């Protein structure tokens, strides 16, 4: 290539000089990111050659272009990407108009070549059939390669919506290389027991989002509370009430330099094109990193910066709804949980009275498709501080007892025996500190139970709680 460029530069006759473009696909393998000391001799030579071509004024005068193509910009050498003579051009995922034009170009000519008529409008009696317009609207998040795979499926127009959702889910998960997991929450907020103020707020937000009032939606939610209080279940029920796609971030970190940032960049690009979408990040304090770079070459800091920048982009209000779940909100950087990013902080607690415990048993039975006799609910004191996860474990144990006795219906003796035998976790101090952290993070007084509302109404109550939390936090 160097000889070809030199021959073109030395050509005396202007009319014989060729305007040339060189295309380098999969450029990340030619010029990978990394420190100079870690680059192999050939990689370093190619980097120097590319930078030299980019800065050569004679090459610019002859209209010679070098185009490097890569899926993730972060995998390409930073010294080349940040060079002032190099322009980085991002090609986003196709918009609705792009997908519509592509679908029409793939479907209509093939039909005409077979002598068939143009596809008829969508039949009102066939709600499961797809027109080009309907397919363009429902295929958000797919690139054109994956969309072409969908179109190549036999009977695309007659494909059932459920089948299409499964195919789209599989395509996007493979497109993101398994870095996200699509979930279809089977439950709604109607199944949540207690937390009336928080449930009302989430139901109201869900109603406005479904009505298209995206300006009323928060940028994100923070669900906090001690272990077993149902943070993941509440997030999934909220997503089920909104009725929009819901994804969980999986482990996008890698041991290879630059790959973690590339993985996250790819996920964020898909999320931007998917909207509206709910993004659930479990164990957010451990997943999202912070500003501190402790022995990972700054990877955690860069991940934190990318997440924080996306969460604070108000152009995606109501289109990307973040739900951060953690039992240690005190470890989550304040930059992520401030107003304008993760705006609504909802603390979760164990059931507060016997009636709530009984209702929790019924809700858990419905969730696990278990049958309970009408008079089977035992008397459980709220002083035992049993969480939702504890009550679910008791219910499943009682179900095992019923099945062992040859019964499908759980009776009171089964639940009573399972309750008496259950031994809760002995980490009482840790759970208490997690509960205090949740109270300190709460953004609305109405989200708190009556006992906590009374406690924080006392003079200097929050400062005293903060002091106690800081004193004991080193022990858990």
Nearest residue to 117 (alpha-carbon basis) of 127, 125, 107, 103: 107
Mean of pLDDT values over 232-252: 83
pLDDT attached to residue 122: 42
| E strand segments, 184-239 | 220-225
Residue 473 has pLDDT above 70, yes or no: no
Q: What share of the chain is helix, strand, coil (3-state, %, to 5)?
A: 55, 10, 35
Q: Which of 18-22, 158-162, 231-235, 312-316 has the lowest mean pLDDT?
A: 158-162
Count the neighbouring beta carbons within 10 Å of the beta carbon of residue 394.
24
pLDDT attached to residue 125: 39
Q: Which of 29-38, 68-77, 466-475 has the lowest mean pLDDT?
A: 466-475
Residue 447 φ/ψ, nearest 5 degrees: -70, -15
pLDDT attached to residue 212: 79
Q: Residues 150, 142: contact at Cβ < 8 Å?
A: yes
Q: Residues 249, 281: contact at Cβ < 8 Å?
A: yes
Nearest residue to 60 (alpha-carbon basis) of 84, 28, 82: 84
Q: Helical H runs in 76-138?
A: 78-81, 96-113, 132-138
pLDDT attached to residue 145: 85
Cβ density class 125-157: b for 16+ within 10 Å, e for less: eeeebbbbebbbeebbbbbbebbeebbeeeebb
Mean of pLDDT values over 108-112: 50
Nearest residue to 213 (alpha-carbon basis) of 312, 318, 311, 137: 318
| DSSP class of 278 | E
Count the neighbouring beta carbons within 10 Å of the beta carbon of residue 66.
18
pLDDT attached to residue 271: 84
| DSSP class of 347 | E
Residue 124 has pLDDT above 80, yes or no: no
pLDDT attached to residue 296: 60
Can you read off the two tokens belonging to residue 81?
Answer: 């990407």
213 confidence band (pLDDT: 50, 70, 90): confident
pLDDT attached to residue 108: 61
| DSSP class of 231 | H
Mean of pLDDT values over 223-234: 87
Cβ density class 208-224: b for 16+ within 10 Å, e for less: bbeeeeeeebbbbbbbb
Edge-to-edge strands of the sheet including 180-183?
180-183, 246-249, 277-281, 320-326, 220-225, 344-348
Residue 265 has pLDDT above 50, yes or no: yes
Residue 126 has pLDDT above 60, yes or no: no
Please give the Cα distance from 157 to 154 (Å, whole number).
9
Q: Residues 320, 275: contact at Cβ < 8 Å?
A: yes
pLDDT attached to residue 119: 45
Q: What is the pTM of this model?
A: 0.71
Please give the Cα distance from 79 to 105 (Å, whole number).
40
Please give the Cα distance from 282 to 56 (Å, whole number).
50
Residue 367 has pLDDT above 60, yes or no: yes
Question: In residues, how long is the chain?
Answer: 476
Please give the Cα distance from 354 to 332 (Å, whole number).
33
- The mean pLDDT of the chain is 81
Q: Which of 23-27, 271-275, 321-325, 353-357 has the lowest mean pLDDT?
A: 271-275
As a whole-number percent, the residues of the chain with pLDDT over 70 amount to 86
């Amino acid at each position: 290539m160097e000889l070809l460029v030199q021959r073109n530069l030395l050509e005396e006759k202007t009319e014989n000089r060729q305007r040339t473009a060189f295309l380098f696909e999969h450029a990340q393998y030619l010029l990978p990111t990394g420190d100079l000391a870690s680059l192999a001799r050939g990689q370093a030579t190619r980097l120097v050659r590319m930078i030299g071509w980019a800065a050569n004024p004679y090459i610019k005068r002859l209209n010679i272009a070098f185009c490097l193509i890569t899926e993730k910009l972060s995998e390409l050498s930073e010294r080349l990407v940040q060079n002032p003579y190099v322009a980085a051009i991002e090609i986003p995922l196709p918009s609705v108009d792009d997908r519509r034009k592509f679908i029409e170009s793939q479907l209509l000519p093939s039909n005409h070549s077979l002598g068939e008529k143009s596809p008829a409008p969508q039949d009102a009696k066939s709600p499961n059939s797809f027109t080009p317009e309907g397919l363009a609207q429902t295929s958000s998040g797919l690139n054109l390669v994956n969309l072409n795979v969908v179109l190549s499926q036999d009977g695309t127009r007659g494909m059932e919506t459920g089948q299409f959702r499964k195919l789209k889910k599989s395509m996007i998960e493979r497109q993101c290389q398994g870095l996200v997991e699509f979930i279809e929450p089977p439950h709604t907020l109607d199944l949540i027991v207690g937390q009336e103020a928080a449930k009302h707020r989430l139901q109201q937000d869900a109603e406005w989002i479904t009505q298209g009032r995206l300006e009323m939606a928060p940028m994100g939610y923070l669900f906090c509370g001690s272990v077993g209080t149902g943070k993941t279940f509440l997030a999934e029920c909220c997503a089920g009430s909104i009725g929009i796609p819901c994804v969980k971030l999986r482990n996008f970190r890698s041991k290879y330099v630059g790959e973690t940032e590339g993985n996250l960049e790819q996920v964020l690009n898909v999320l931007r094109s998917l909207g509206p979408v709910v993004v659930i990040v479990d164990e957010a304090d451990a997943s999202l990193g912070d500003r501190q770079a402790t022995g990972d070459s700054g990877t955690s800091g860069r991940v934190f910066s990318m997440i924080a920048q996306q969460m604070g982009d108000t152009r995606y209000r109501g289109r990307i709804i973040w739900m951060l779940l953690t039992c240690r909100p005190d470890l989550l950087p304040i930059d992520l949980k401030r107003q304008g990013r993760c705006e609504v902080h909802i603390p979760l607690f164990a059931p507060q009275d016997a009636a709530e415990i009984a209702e929790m048993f019924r809700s858990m039975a419905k969730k696990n498709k278990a049958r309970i006799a009408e008079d089977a609910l035992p008397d459980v004191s709220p002083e035992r501080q049993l969480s939702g996860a504890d009550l679910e474990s008791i219910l499943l144990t009682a179900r095992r007892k019923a099945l062992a006795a040859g019964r499908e219906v759980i009776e009171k003796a089964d639940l009573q025996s399972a309750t008496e035998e259950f031994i809760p976790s002995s980490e009482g101090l840790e759970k208490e500190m997690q509960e205090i952290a949740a109270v300190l993070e709460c953004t609305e007084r109405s989200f708190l139970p009556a006992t906590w509302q009374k406690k924080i109404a006392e003079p200097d109550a929050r400062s005293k709680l903060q002091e106690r939390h800081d004193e004991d936090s080193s022990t858990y």
